[in-house]
Structure 1
Amino acid sequence: MRMRISFVLRGLIGLLAIGFLVQGAMSALQLRAVNANARDLSDNWMPSVQALGELKYKVTRLRLVDARYVTAIEPVPELDLVSARRLKDVEAVATRYEPLIASPEERAAWIAYQQNWSAYLEFRSRIMSAAQAKDQGVLNEIFQASRKPFDASIESLDRSTALNVSGGDEAKIKSEATYVHALWIIGLLCSVSFAFGLAGIVYVLVGVTRPIDRLILRMRN
C-alpha cells in the first residue's frame, strides 16, 4: 500500500509539474505571437503610413512652388532656391519610406509613383526654364500639362497608404485574436492543473487518511 500511495502521489505531482511547464511554454508562445503582431504594427505599418502622409505633404508643397512660378510675382532665383530645398525634402522622405515596403502590391504602387513622379519632374524642368525665359503662355501650358502626372503620383501614394492602413488593421485583428486565444489556452491549462491538484487532495483524504484513521481506531479498540 505504501508503495502504491507513493507511486500515485508522485504521478500526481509529476502531472502537475508537466501541466505547469506546458502552461508556461504555451503562454510564452502566445505572448511571442502577440509581440510579433504588435511589433509589425509599430515598426512597419504605422511608420509607413506616417512616411506616406509626410511624403504627400512635401510633394504638395513642391507643387505649390510651380504655381508660384506661374503667378510670376516672386523673383525666379528665389523660387529656384525654394524649389531645390523642397525637392530635397521630398527625396529624403522617399528614401526613408522605401525600406518599409512590405508587399508586392505596395511595391507595385511605389513603382507607379516613381514613374509618374519622374514624368512630373520633367515637366518641372520645363516650367523652371519657361519661368526664366518669362514666357507666360508656355508656362501656363506646361503647368496644366504637368497636372496629370502629378495627380497620378498622388493617387499612387494614396493607394500605398490604403494598403498600409489595411495591413495595420489586419495586424491589430491578429493581435487581438491571439490574445483571446492565449487567454483560453491558459484558462484551460489552469483548469486541468487545478483538477489534478484537486484529485490529489481527494485521493489523500479518501485513499490515505481514512484507512489510517480506521487502522488507528482498530488499534485503540
Structure 2
Amino acid sequence: MVETILGGANPMSLKSLSIRGKLLAAFGLMLALVIGLGAMSALQIRLVNGSARDLRDNWVPSIQAIGEVKLTYSRERTRAARAMGTPDAAERRNAVTDYQAARSELERALRTYEPLVSSREEQALLDRFKADYRTYSNFVDDLLAQPPGDARAMAAFNGESVRLWRKALEALDAAGKMNAEGAALAAAEAERSYKRAIWATAGGLALAVLLSVICVTWLTRNVAGGASSLSNSLLRLSRRDYGFELPEASRGDEIGEMARAVATCRDGLREADALAAAQAAEAASKVARGERVDGLLRGFEAEAAEVLRGVASAAVELNATAGEMAGTAQDGVARA
C-alpha cells in the first residue's frame, strides 16, 4: 500500500531506487507538502486580507464620508434656518456668510466621498443627491434673497424647502444603507474566509501528518526492514547455516547489492564446506585402507614366521634323523 501511494501505477520502480534516492524522494515529498501548505496558507491569508482591505479602504471610509456629508448638510440647513430667522440685516449677512461656509464644507465632504463610490447604483444615488441638493440650495438662496422677516419666505422655508431638503437627504440615507449593507457583506465574507482558512490549514496539516506517517512507515519497512532481514541472514551465515532465502536480492538498491553479495558468499562457502567434507571423507577412507593393509601385512608376517619356525623344527628333526641314519650306515659297514 505504501509503495502504491508513493509510486503510483508502478510501485516496483521505487524498489529500484537507491537508498539515497528513496531518502531524497521522501524528503522531497515532505518539502513539497511544506511549500504547498505555506502557499495554501498564504492564499487563505490573502483572501482574508482582501476582505479586510475592502472593509478598510472602501466600505468603512464610504460610511464615514457619507456621515460627514450628512453632518455638513445638516449644519448647512441649521445655518440657513438661522439666517432666515434673523431680522437684523447685518446679523443676517453674517448668518448668510456662515451658511455659505457650511456649503463649502459640504462641497469638500462631497469631493472626499466621490472617489469612494464603488458601483453604478451608488453613483446614481450620489448624482441624485447632487441634483436634489442643487434644487434645494437654489430654492433656499431665493428665499434668503427676500427681505428679513418676509412671511411668505419663512413659510416656504418651513414648508417646501423642508420637503426638498428631506428629498436630497433620502439619497444620502440610501447611499449610507447601501454601504452599510456592503460592509456587512464584506465582514461576513471575511468571517467565511477566516473559517475557510482555518479548515484548509487544518486539512493541509492533517494531510501532511498522514503523508509523513506513510513516508516514515515506508522507509522503515523498505530500508530498515531490508537491512534487518539482511543482518539476520548474515548471522545465520556466520553459523554455517545456509538454509535461508534472500528475497532482498531482487531489489535494485544498495541492500539488493549486499544481498546478492551475501548470496554469492553463501554459495561459495557451501561449496567449500562440501569440498572439505568430501576431502575429509576421502582421507578417512585412505586411512582405513592403510590400516587394513597394515593388518594384513602383520597377519602375513605372523603366519610366515610360524611357518618358518615349523620348517626349522622339521629341518632339525630331519638333520637328527639323517645323523642317526648315517651312524647306522657306518655301523653296518663296520660290521660288514
Is structure 2 residue 207 aligned with structure 1 residue 192?
yes
Aligned to 1:168: 183
Q: Distance in 2 between matches of 1:112 and 1:2?
A: 76
Amino acid aligned to 1:95? R
The two structures have a TM-score, normalised by structure 1, of 0.91
Aligned to 2:220: 205
Native 8 Å contact 1:69 1:127 kept in 2: no
SS at match of 2:118: coil
Cα deviation, 1:109-155, whole Å, max 9, x if unaligned, reads 1111011100001112112101xx23512321330221121001111
Percent identity, aligned pairs only, is 26
Q: Distance in 1 between matches of 2:69 and 2:192?
A: 33
Amino acid aligned to 1:217? N
Q: Distance in 2 between matches of 1:70 and 1:192?
A: 74
Native 8 Å contact 1:126 1:142 kept in 2: no
Native 8 Å contact 2:60 2:183 kept in 1: yes
Cα deviation for residue 168 of structure 1 reads 0.6
Q: Distance in 2 between matches of 1:29 and 1:214?
A: 47
Is structure 2 residue 134 aligned with structure 1 residue 103?
no
Native 8 Å contact 1:12 1:196 kept in 2: no
Aligned to 1:18: 32
Cα deviation for residue 210 of structure 1 reads 2.9
Cα deviation, 1:154-189, whole Å, max 9, x if unaligned, reads 111000000000111111111111111122222222
Which has the higher mean CA deviation after the structures are superposed, 180-189 or 35-44? 180-189
Is structure 2 residue 101 aligned with structure 1 residue 85?
yes
Greater relative contact order (Cα < 8 A, sep 6+): 1
Cα deviation for residue 3 of structure 1 reads 3.2
Native 8 Å contact 2:80 2:96 kept in 1: no
**Where do 5+ consecutive residues of structure 1 fail to align?**
none
Native 8 Å contact 2:84 2:148 kept in 1: no
Cα deviation, 1:30-71, whole Å, max 9, x if unaligned, reads 211111111110111001111111111111111112222332
SS at match of 1:168: helix
Amino acid aligned to 1:166? E
Cα deviation for residue 4 of structure 1 reads 5.3
The two structures have a TM-score, normalised by structure 2, of 0.61
Which has the higher mean CA deviation after the structures are superposed, 136-145 or 149-158? 136-145
Aligned-residue CA RMSD (Å): 1.9
Q: Distance in 1 between matches of 2:148 and 2:161?
A: 18
